[in-house]
């Protein structure tokens, strides 16, 4: 058990660092890091880690930044993605999305919620944990990575290519300052139809690929009542998210059309079974194919890590030692904690817990409902309070 004097010291020290923590966050948000171009924002995080006494900071082959502090057999990793989605239509923003604004204690800026808001607390928290002896027996990592391009790729490569495989992971995606312990999975599909082109004035000579997909889209829209509803993760979902057409011109019958499908998976549902469901829906025909998408885009360093776009569901039980440690951390700091919960969206947990089986929880400031919106925001009080949690947690882990 951590002595009360240590808890008091954490809260006092974090309060004294409040201005530095907030300024650090504002500087992170001011650096654009869209399309996985995270080098500049990662260098800002690197500078702060070196200032705070991390024993090493290095860059992996994919282009993610890794800070190391402490020296022990137990390995703890704090995962915070520092890339963001784009800003969309600039006219929809009422302030500069990178400079942001502070109003009523809330920072509004691109990435404030998803997910730069957890980075200052993780870095300052680990430095404070080291200073107070809470990392005795622990090697801790801060992993500032790219996630928006393909969640799970960065941690998968860190383990398989760089050889860093932690014993415990904390994911800093927004959790409303609660401990999160799971999420739905997903799989992404493509349905492709081929036809025959002709001039639109002689459309009877063609074979319209779009029309072949219309009844399939309608059938997909009616699928959800058939899906499993898990008591914790909730029910499966399916959405047609995009459509591409190949046509010689807008005055011609298209000879190819394809749709992309996002299928959110709960426990008891598998990518293979859902692939077969869609194939049954399409039927036996040579002009329409169904497949699972594969990701093979290079990172900004040129590094490739090809993966099928399969992202498993995962959850830890409420009584798992890591979940209990996360809950107890909040209780010691603030007197109480709400029950552990789950994300509605996807995170790097699909690899850490879903594929690698590494016990993982989430904790971070912000509400996922603000992610990817022009109201991207985070409470600055919560950013600072999260630092206390990140500092204390290592002291409650079973060595």
Q: Is residue 71 flagged as an active site residue? A: no
Number of H helices, E strands in the chain: 10, 21
Backbone angles phi, psi at 172, to 5 degrees: -90, 15
Would you call the peptide bond into 115 cis, given omega within 30 degrees of 0 as the criterion?
Answer: yes
Would you call the peptide bond into 388 cis, given omega within 30 degrees of 0 as the criterion?
Answer: no
> Residue 199 is inside which H or E element, if any?
none
**CA–CA separation, 365 and 11 (whole Å):** 17
56 contacts: CB under 8 Å, gap ≥ 6: 67, 68
Active site residue: 79, 148, 188, 269, which one?
Answer: 148
261 contacts: CB under 8 Å, gap ≥ 6: 188, 189, 190, 191, 220, 238, 239, 240, 241, 278
95 contacts: CB under 8 Å, gap ≥ 6: 101, 108
> Residue 182 is inside which H or E element, if any?
strand 180-183
Residue with tokens 């991207």: 376
Active site residue: 83, 114, 151, 230, which one?
Answer: 83
CA distances to 127, 177, 188, 294, 348 from 307, rounded to whole Å, are 35, 32, 12, 6, 14
Is the separation of the CB atoms in 113 and 370 below 8 Å? yes
Q: Is residue 131 flagged as an active site residue? A: no
Query: H helices of 31-94, where?
Result: 39-51
Backbone angles phi, psi at 276, to 5 degrees: -65, -35
Positions marked catalytic? 83, 148
């Amino acid at each position: 058990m951590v002595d009360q004097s240590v808890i008091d010291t954490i809260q006092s020290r974090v309060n004294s660092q409040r201005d530095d923590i907030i300024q650090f966050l504002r500087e992170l948000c001011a650096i654009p890091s869209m399309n996985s171009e995270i080098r500049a924002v990662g260098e800002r995080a690197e500078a702060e880690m070196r200032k705070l006494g991390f024993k090493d900071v290095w860059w992996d082959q994919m282009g993610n930044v890794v800070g190391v502090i402490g020296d022990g057999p137990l390995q703890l990793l704090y995962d915070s993605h520092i890339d963001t989605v784009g800003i969309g239509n600039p006219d929809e923003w009422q302030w500069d999305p990178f400079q942001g604004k502070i109003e009523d204690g809330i920072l509004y800026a691109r990435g404030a919620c998803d997910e730069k808001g957890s980075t200052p607390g993780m870095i300052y928290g680990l430095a404070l944990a080291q200073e107070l002896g809470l990392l005795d027996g622990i090697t801790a990592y801060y992993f500032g990575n790219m996630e928006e391009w393909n969640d799970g790729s960065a941690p998968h490569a860190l383990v398989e290519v760089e050889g860093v495989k932690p014993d415990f992971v904390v994911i800093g995606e927004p959790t409303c300052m609660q401990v999160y312990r799971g999420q739905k999975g997903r799989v992404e599909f493509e349905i492709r139809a081929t036809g025959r082109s002709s001039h639109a004035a002689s459309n009877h000579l063609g074979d319209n690929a779009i029309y072949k997909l219309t009844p399939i889209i309608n059938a997909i829209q009616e699928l959800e009542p058939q899906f499993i509803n898990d008591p914790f993760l909730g029910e499966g979902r399916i959405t047609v998210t995009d459509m591409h057409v190949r046509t010689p011109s807008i005055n011609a019958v298209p000879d190819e059309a394809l749709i992309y499908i996002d299928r959110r998976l709960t426990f008891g549902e598998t990518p293979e079974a859902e692939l077969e469901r869609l194939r049954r829906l399409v039927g036996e025909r040579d002009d329409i194919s169904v497949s699972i998408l594969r990701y093979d885009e290079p990172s900004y360093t040129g590094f490739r890590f090809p993966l099928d776009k399969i992202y498993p569901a995962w959850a830890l039980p409420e009584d798992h030692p890591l979940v209990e440690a996360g809950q107890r951390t909040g209780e010691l700091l603030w007197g109480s904690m709400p029950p552990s919960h789950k994300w509605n969206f996807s995170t790097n947990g699909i690899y850490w817990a879903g594929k690698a089986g590494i016990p993982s929880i989430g904790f971070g400031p912000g509400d996922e409902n603000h992610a990817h919106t022009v109201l991207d925001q985070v409470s600055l009080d919560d950013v600072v309070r999260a630092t206390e949690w990140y500092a204390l947690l290592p002291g409650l882990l079973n060595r």
